[in-house]
Amino acid sequence: MTALAGARVLVTGGSSGIGLATARRLRRRGAVLTLSASRPGPLSEVAAALGADWVAADLGSPDGLEQLLRRARADSPDVVVHAAGIGLARRADETSTEEALRLLRVNVLAALAISAVVLPAMRSRRHGHLVFLGSVAGALGVADEAVYSASKAALAAYAGAVGLEGRAHGIRVTSVLPGAVDTPFFVRRGRPYGRTFPRAVSADHVAERIVSAVEHDRGEVVVPAWLRVPIVLRAIAPGTYARLAGRLG
């Protein structure tokens, strides 16, 4: 088990949603927190309530990312929770290059750059844990969210590779694949979540699974767990999955 009491933990996207819920649970475990988010106002309030340090950084900009990289390099965290992310409810042919690039910078490139900065120290001390907040969309592909799905698929592949590279050096990696979660994410992406099924789960439920995965060194978490069924179906019977997805949405 990984002990979180006294562990230095960096949480990106820590001012709202899953990142905030995870930070709260980590604080209750006794972790020493540094939170990052793009909006300094809400971030400073959350950090004050949790007794955490904070870094306001827009991960979609080179300057913002560099600011957080400097902090991550200096702090050398034991655990990093990559919870920062943005969505985009747009068909592939309706997505501009600028929109796609920003989404990929925030969702993928920032996590890659931060990981590259903290991994050498983790390898040296033979201990560390990286958590990548992906999405079921990355495993299945979701219509009208093509670029978002691609970003989460890339993140999952990167997490898998880093997990293989780091395992012999005491580095653990967790890939988290949630379905719909009741957070402001859907409104910010440009389209509220309007489905009654699957029902959106709470951010705190996902956070509980994240913290448990770190403590017990679990490599992959699907939330809710039943969503592993369509993931497996798509892998073993892609034609059947495509027909069902087209019919059921």
Question: Across all residues in the chain, what is the average pLDDT?
Answer: 93
Strands (E), the chain: 8-12, 32-37, 53-56, 79-82, 128-133, 171-178, 181-182, 201-202, 220-223
Q: In the structure, what pLDDT confidence band is assigned to residue 189 with cuts at 50, 70 and 90? A: low
Quickly count: other Cβ atoms within 10 Å of residue 56's Cβ. Answer: 19
Position 196 scores a pLDDT of 67
CA distance 69 to 49: 24
pLDDT in tens, 63-114: 999 999 999 999 999 999 999 999 998 899 999 999 999 999 999 999 999 9
Is 52 a domain residue? Answer: yes
Is 125 a domain residue? Answer: yes
pLDDT in tens, 110-133: 999 999 999 999 999 999 999 999
Range of the domain at 128: 8-248
Is 43 a domain residue? Answer: yes
pLDDT in tens, 33-62: 999 999 999 999 999 999 999 999 999 999
Is 2 a domain residue? Answer: no
Tokens representing 108 are: 């993928």
Q: How far is CA 90 from the centre of its chain?
A: 21
Is 118 a domain residue? Answer: yes
Position 50 scores a pLDDT of 97
DSSP state of 145: B
Is the pLDDT assigned to residue 210 strictly greater than 90?
yes
The pTM of this model reads 0.93
- Please confirm, yes or no, whether 158 is among the known catalytic residues: no
CATH of the domain at 118: 3.40.50.720
CB contact at 8 A, 210 and 22: yes
Among 107, 118, 40, smallest CA distance to 78 is for 118
Position 188 scores a pLDDT of 74
Catalytic residue among 148, 158, 193, 241: 148
Tokens representing 226 are: 């039943």
Position 249 scores a pLDDT of 65
pLDDT in tens, 156-186: 999 999 999 999 999 999 999 999 888 777 6
Strands (E), 83-228: 128-133, 171-178, 181-182, 201-202, 220-223
| Count of the separate structural domains present in the chain | 1
Does the N-terminal peptide bond of residue 62 adopt cis geometry, omega within 30 degrees of 0?
no
Is 1 a domain residue? Answer: no
